[in-house]
């Protein structure tokens, strides 16, 4: 299969996946117990207000009609408004998505090169002191829940040392330097979370390749350890590493609600969770589809990276 | 009956700016240093990601919305730091016979942020939008008994109550009833208030700058107000301790000591109107049995709940919803735990079995802990309760008022009448215990139009007593509002009606 055919096929699969996600999201929100109108009104619920709100939310219409009219509007680029505060979803989404991507990118830039390097070192010095130290350290960071890491970082570096701010609430007009400083602690928290994961997969992948016969061959012909790892082992380990990096990146885009709350960061996660709690369908659909697209897109990229690194994948027997 | 006599009884004769100021500020504030102009006030507050500036939206209710509201807008009537109604955009009011027709005289020369003068048209529009056809406003229930709101003059409106009420001026202080320009449905924060909107990012940030033409003298001392939504309790306290904000709301009772220990911080504690309640539906089994209700009321150790749930930051409840700080609070004997009497009533009820108590963190953060404590307390008289933990979303829609035995929380209401009418009369929108008592209903209606203060107090006292001894609610605790602030923050910063100086922190404080 050629590369372009691979890309085309995966893109079509991706779009189909997103369509299924949209249906599942819509159906899932419908299945949440309780009447959305009552949930939104909370303690100020009255029968008259419930009636009026149900009409405003078009809950008196059948599910499939509401879904189809959403699809129709979305196809024309209209993502609708939040049923909670009446604001158009698109600009709020764009702003929060930018924040989420910025933080994910920041954390990735910090942690992925470092953890791949440490993973390689651990593989190179397998079962020696350095390997043990790296493994122990990575196990520790992966075991602490993110809110714990976050609070410890806040207490030490923001409250006691005062090097970084407590509130990471970035604003659109904020300069890059301040933004980097405000996002530093949440980025470190996320790095702890995903770094260890990437590190361990890198180590495992390289170690398994190092036991292959062709590595033995390279050793016999007299190649140095560094050359073996970099030229022979790493290139063949790109597949699994690219996959775990893609998963880690996707995780940072969709799963950082806790980090957002601890650091008061205006990303997509908290918005999505609050919207689900209040049945804010338009927001849920847009966020959910964006999250789905992130996973699908990153997986396609990982496949392409793996194919580029290994001709065998491009030309299967 | 003229308006001046009516609110003269509430201890306010003067309505000029000087008289207003002297009456509005209690001794503590007058004793403090003179207000200082300038600077930026930074607030850390609880909000919601979908915050709104639309007063008619059903979600317009979070602390962030309330504080932003009083920063941008005024209401006809203001609640002063002692809980009294004082003139704001209405400079005086007159009450007609039977308290059915109220006339509010508007202040002249007040302008919106865009320079347009505020008149009766704006007021009528701002009020009517809450009960207009198709209204989804949280204030819909508050307006249920209002028959009409009309303009009578460029600077005068009338409000007609269906049966008469002496509390309309208090009603007009509600945050929903902020005054916006006539026909303005843009929800862009255009008001007559102390600060002008500059930045509004829902659920994240608010920024306002001082309204140079603000009509109130001796208010709005800081030049700029910045509000950051910080929903995590720990993050709010940390932001205060790190000096990133000047004041925060909802200090966790467990962290009060931590804040007080810091040299430059203090906790502003106000006994408020808010309370926790356990509802027992009186219309269905098992709590249609008054002895079973009484057994539970007597078995509860309120002092233990106060110490363990609120760490003492609150006060004991007496099974009626009228807080000590409210004008018509009746000083009935405090209900104490009495296991012997409780056992007697429990046996007399003849009940056996287990009663599920429904609760949720939606009620308040420690609601589950409180339910478990009450379960253990009731166990002492042999009353078996199982704690049913419900998910927070949907609790108010699916559990509250529906299950026979469940927990609830009220932020309280601004007057005794509004509180009792909202949650305890037979025809209440939210009749907490499904309790129907004709005598109570009759007293409540009579008190609503009783001009003699002493007689009115006696009527309300009997209402509270009836509810206490027969009602379908066990009200163990009133909570206090606890804000954390810099010591240098000046002004009278507590109020019984709401946290953050009654929501008016921006115009009442100054930076030291």
Q: How far apart are CA B385 and CA B405, in angstroms?
A: 10
Residue B61 and residue A271: Cβ atoms within 8 Å?
A: no
Ramachandran category for residue A157: left, alpha or beta (phi over 0 → left; psi -120 to 50 → alpha): alpha
Nearest to B394 among A39, A162, A283 (CB): A39
Q: Residue B114 has what DSSP assignment?
A: T
Q: Look at residue B11 and tell me whether its pLDDT is greater than 70.
A: no
HEC letters along A229-275: HHHHHHHHHHHHHHHHHHHHHHHHHHCCHHHHHHHCCCCHHHHHHHH
Nearest to A39 among B49, B135, B397 (CB): B397
Residue A39 and residue B239: Cβ atoms within 8 Å?
A: no
List the one residue out of A78, A30, A33, A32 whose CA is nearest residue A58.
Answer: A30
Residues paired with B158 in a beta bridge: B103, B150
Q: For testing the chain A interface, which of B394, B410, B412 should be mutated: the one with the most A CBs within 10 Å?
A: B394
Beta pairing, strands B101-106 & B90-95: antiparallel
Greater confidence, B371 or A144? B371
Give the HSE-up count for residue B77: Cα atoms under 13 Å, Cβ half-sphere.
Answer: 21
User: B436-489: per-residue pLDDT in tens?
Assistant: 999 999 999 999 999 999 999 999 999 999 999 999 999 999 999 999 999 999
Q: For testing the chain B interface, which of A45, A171, A174 should be mutated: the one with the most B CBs within 10 Å?
A: A45
Structure tokens at A24: 């599942």
Nearest Cα of chain B lies from the Cα of A73 at a distance, in angstroms, of: 22
Structure tokens at B375: 């379960």
Instruction: Return the pLDDT at B23.
Output: 41
Q: Look at residue B19 and tell me whether its pLDDT is greater than 50.
A: no
Instruction: Return the pLDDT at A139.
Output: 87
Residue B244 and residue A166: Cβ atoms within 8 Å?
A: yes
Residue B140 and residue A49: Cβ atoms within 8 Å?
A: yes
Q: How far apart are CA A136 and CA A118, in angstroms?
A: 12
Residue A40 and residue B58: Cβ atoms within 8 Å?
A: yes
List the one residue out of B61, B232, B49 whose CA is nearest residue A283.
Answer: B49
Cis status of the peptide bond prior to B286, with omega within 30 of 0? yes
Q: Look at residue B269 and tell me whether its pLDDT is greater than 90.
A: yes
Rounded to a whole number, what is the largest CA-CA distance in chain A? Answer: 85
Residue B59 and residue A84: Cβ atoms within 8 Å?
A: yes
For residues B214-218, average pLDDT? 94
* Range list of β-strands (E), A158-201: none
DSSP B310-363: STT-EEE--SSS--TTSTT---PPPP---HHHHHHHHHHHT--SEEEEEE-TTT
What is the end-to-end Cα distance of chain B in Å, rounded?
45
Residue A275 and residue B50: Cβ atoms within 8 Å?
A: yes
Instruction: Return the pLDDT at B22.
Output: 40
Instruction: Return the pLDDT at B5.
Output: 35
Nearest Cα of chain B lies from the Cα of A42 at a distance, in angstroms, of: 5
Across the 317 residues of chain A, what is the mean pLDDT of every consecutive 10-residue run?
78 90 89 82 82 86 88 89 88 93 94 92 88 90 89 94 93 91 94 90 88 87 83 83 89 86 91 86 91 89 81 64
pTM of the model: 0.88
Instruction: Return the pLDDT at A4.
Output: 81
Residue B429 and residue A43: Cβ atoms within 8 Å?
A: no
* Chain A residue whose CA is closest to B134: A52
Residue B49 and residue A275: Cβ atoms within 8 Å?
A: yes
Q: Which residues on chain B are in Cβ contact (under 8 Å) with A263?
A: 235
Instruction: Return the pLDDT at A317.
Output: 55
Element (H, E) at B105: strand B101-106
Element (H, E) at B267: strand B265-280
Residue A49 and residue B50: Cβ atoms within 8 Å?
A: no
Q: For testing the chain B interface, which of A264, A281, A286 should be mutated: the one with the most B CBs within 10 Å?
A: A264
Nearest Cα of chain B lies from the Cα of A59 at a distance, in angstroms, of: 14
Which residues 378-437 of chain B have a CB within 8 Å of chain A? 392-394, 396-398, 400, 429-430
Q: Look at residue B143 and tell me whether its pLDDT is greater than 80.
A: yes
Residue A34 and residue B202: Cβ atoms within 8 Å?
A: no
Q: Which residues on chain B are in Cβ contact (under 8 Å) with A40?
A: 58-59
For residues B327-339, average pLDDT? 95
Query: Could you give the 3-state DSSP secondary structure of residue B436?
Result: coil
CB within 8 Å of A140: residues ≥ 6 apart: none
Instruction: Return the pLDDT at A315.
Output: 66
Nearest to B397 among A35, A155, A159 (CB): A35
Q: C-alpha angle A95/A97/A100, rounded to 5°?
A: 115
Q: For testing the chain A interface, which of B44, B243, B397 should be mutated: the one with the most A CBs within 10 Å?
A: B397
Instruction: Return the pLDDT at A316.
Output: 58
Instruction: Return the pLDDT at A264.
Output: 92
Rounded to a whole number, what is the largest CA-CA distance in chain B? Answer: 70
Label residues A84-102 b or e (16+ Cβ within 10 Å = b). Answer: bbebebeebbebbbebbbb
List the one residue out of B349, B346, B345 whose CA is nearest residue B383.
Answer: B346
Query: Which residue reads 């139009």 in tokens?
Result: B449
Residue B202 and residue A85: Cβ atoms within 8 Å?
A: yes
Which residues 159-188 of chain B have a CB within 8 Å of chain A? 187
Q: Which residues on chain A are in Cβ contact (under 8 Å) with B392?
A: 277
Contact in structure between B302 and B317 (CB atoms under 8 Å): yes
Q: Which residues on chain B are in Cβ contact (under 8 Å) with A186?
A: none
Q: Which residues on chain B are in Cβ contact (under 8 Å) with A171?
A: 199, 201, 204-205
For residues B416-426, average pLDDT? 93
For residues B111-120, average pLDDT? 97
Instruction: Return the pLDDT at A306.
Output: 81
**ipTM of the shown complex:** 0.86
Nearest to B232 among A34, A261, A283 (CB): A261
How far from A173 is each of A73, A200, B400, CA to CA, in Å?
A: 31, 39, 44
Contact in structure between B125 and B119 (CB atoms under 8 Å): no
Nearest to B136 among A33, A56, A274 (CB): A56
Q: How far apart are CA B28 and CA B490, in angstroms?
A: 11
Residue B57 and residue A34: Cβ atoms within 8 Å?
A: no
Q: For testing the chain A interface, which of B235, B361, B408 should be mutated: the one with the most A CBs within 10 Å?
A: B235
Instruction: Return the pLDDT at A233.
Output: 83
Q: How far apart are CA A162 and CA A165, in angstroms?
A: 7
Nearest Cα of chain B lies from the Cα of A82 at a distance, in angstroms, of: 8
Residue A53 and residue B51: Cβ atoms within 8 Å?
A: no
Q: Quick check: B262 contacting A, CB < 8 Å?
A: no
Q: Sort B507 into a burial class: Cβ within 10 Å, 0-12 / 13-18 / 19+.
A: buried
Q: Which residues on chain B are in Cβ contact (under 8 Å) with A92?
A: 202
Q: C-alpha angle A214/A218/A219, rounded to 5°?
A: 115
Query: Could you give the 3-state DSSP secondary structure of residue B55?
Result: coil
Q: Look at residue B505 and tell me whether its pLDDT is greater than 90.
A: yes
Query: Could you give the 3-state DSSP secondary structure of residue B85?
Result: strand
Taking all residues of chain B, what is their mean pLDDT, rounded to a whole number? Answer: 91
List the one residue out of B307, B306, B304, B331 whose CA is nearest residue B320.
Answer: B331
How many C-beta atoms surround the C-beta of residue A18 within 10 A? 17
* Chain A residue whose CA is closest to B54: A85
Instruction: Return the pLDDT at B29.
Output: 46
Nearest to B235 among A41, A166, A275 (CB): A166
Instruction: Return the pLDDT at B12.
Output: 35
Q: Residues B29, B32, B35, B38: is their CA dihedral positive or negative?
A: negative
Instruction: Return the pLDDT at A127.
Output: 86
């Amino acid at each position: 299969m050629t590369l372009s055919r691979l890309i085309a096929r995966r893109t079509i699969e991706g779009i189909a996946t997103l369509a299924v996600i949209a249906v599942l999201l819509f159906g899932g929100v419908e299945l949440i117990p309780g009447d959305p109108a009552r949930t939104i009104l909370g303690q100020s619920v009255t029968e008259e207000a419930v009636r009026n709100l149900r009409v405003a939310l078009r809950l008196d219409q059948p599910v499939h009609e509401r879904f189809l009219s959403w699809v129709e509007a979305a196809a024309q680029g209209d993502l609708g408004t939040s049923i909670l505060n009446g604001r158009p979803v698109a600009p709020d989404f764009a702003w929060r998505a930018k924040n989420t991507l910025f933080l994910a990118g920041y954390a990735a830039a910090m942690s992925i090169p470092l953890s791949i390097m440490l993973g390689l070192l651990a593989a190179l010095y397998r079962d020696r002191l350095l390997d043990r130290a790296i493994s122990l350290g990575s196990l520790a960071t992966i075991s602490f829940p993110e809110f714990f890491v976050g609070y410890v970082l806040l207490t030490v570096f923001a409250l006691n040392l005062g090097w970084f701010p407590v509130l990471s609430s970035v604003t659109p007009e904020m300069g890059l330097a301040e933004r980097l400083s405000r996002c530093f602690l949440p980025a470190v928290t996320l790095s702890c979370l995903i770094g260890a994961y990437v590190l361990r997969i890198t180590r495992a992948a390289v170690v398994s390749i190092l036991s292959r016969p062709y590595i033995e061959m390279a050793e016999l012909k007299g190649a140095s350890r560094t050359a073996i790892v970099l030229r022979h082992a790493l290139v063949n380990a790109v597949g699994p590493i690219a996959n775990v990096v893609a998963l880690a990146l996707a995780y940072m885009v969709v799963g950082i609600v806790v980090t957002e709350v601890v650091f008061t960061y205006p990303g997509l996660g908290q918005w999505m969770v609050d919207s689900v709690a209040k049945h804010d369908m338009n927001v849920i659909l847009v966020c959910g589809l964006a999250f789905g697209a992130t996973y699908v897109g990153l997986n396609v990229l990982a496949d392409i990276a793996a194919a580029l690194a290994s001709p065998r994948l491009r030309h299967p027997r | 009956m003229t308006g001046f006599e009516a609110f003269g009884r509430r201890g306010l004769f003067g309505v000029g700016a000087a008289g207003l100021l002297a009456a509005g500020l209690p001794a503590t504030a007058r004793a403090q240093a003179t207000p200082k102009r300038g600077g930026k006030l930074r607030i850390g507050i609880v909000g919601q990601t979908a915050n709104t500036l639309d007063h008619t939206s059903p979600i317009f209710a979070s602390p962030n919305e309330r504080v932003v509201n009083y920063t941008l807008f005024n209401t006809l009537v203001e609640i002063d730091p002692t809980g009294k109604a004082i003139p704001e955009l209405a400079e005086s009011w007159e009450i007609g016979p039977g308290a059915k027709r109220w006339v509010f005289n508007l202040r002249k020369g007040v302008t919106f942020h865009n320079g347009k003068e505020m008149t009766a048209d704006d007021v009528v529009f701002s009020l009517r939008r809450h009960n207009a056809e198709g209204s989804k406003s949280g204030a819909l229930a508050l307006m249920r008994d209002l028959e009409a709101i009309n303009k009578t003059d460029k600077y005068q409106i009338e409000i007609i109550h269906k049966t008469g009420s002496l509390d309309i001026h208090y009603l007009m202080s509600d945050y929903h009833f902020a005054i916006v320009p006539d026909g303005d449905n843009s929800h862009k924060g255009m008001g007559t208030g102390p600060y002008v909107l500059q930045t509004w990012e829902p659920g994240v940030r608010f920024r306002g700058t001082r309204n140079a033409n603000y009509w109130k003298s001796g208010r709005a001392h800081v030049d700029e107000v910045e509000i950051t939504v910080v929903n995590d309790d720990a993050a709010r306290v940390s932001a205060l301790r790190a000096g990133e904000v000047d004041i925060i709301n909802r200090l966790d009772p467990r962290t009060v000591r931590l804040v007080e220990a810091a040299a430059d911080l203090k906790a502003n504690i106000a006994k408020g109107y808010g309370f926790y309640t356990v509802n027992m539906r009186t219309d269905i089994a098992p709590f249609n049995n008054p002895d079973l209700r009484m057994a539970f009321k007597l078995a509860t150790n309120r002092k233990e709940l106060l110490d363990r749930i609120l760490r003492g930051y609150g006060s004991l409840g007496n099974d009626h919803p009228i807080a000590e700080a409210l004008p018509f609070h009746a000083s009935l004997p405090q209900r104490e735990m009495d296991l012997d009497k409780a056992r007697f009533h429990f046996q007399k009820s003849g009940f056996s079995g287990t009663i599920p108590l429904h609760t949720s963190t939606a009620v308040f953060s420690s609601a589950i802990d409180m339910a478990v404590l009450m379960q253990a307390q009731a166990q002492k008289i042999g009353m078996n309760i199982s704690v049913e933990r419900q998910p927070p979303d949907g609790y108010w829609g699916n559990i509250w008022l529906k299950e026979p035995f469940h927990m609830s929380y009220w932020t309280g209401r601004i007057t005794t009448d509004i509180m009792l009418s909202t949650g305890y009369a037979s025809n209440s929108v939210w009749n907490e215990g499904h309790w129907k008592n004709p005598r109570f209903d009759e007293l409540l209606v009579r008190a609503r139009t009783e001009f003699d203060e002493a007689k009115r107090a006696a009527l309300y006292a009997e209402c509270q007593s009836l509810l206490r001894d027969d009602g379908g609610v066990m009200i163990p605790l009133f909570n206090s509002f606890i804000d954390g602030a810099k010591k240098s923050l000046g002004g009278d910063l507590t109020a019984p009606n709401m946290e953050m100086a009654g929501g008016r922190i921006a115009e009442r404080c100054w930076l030291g």
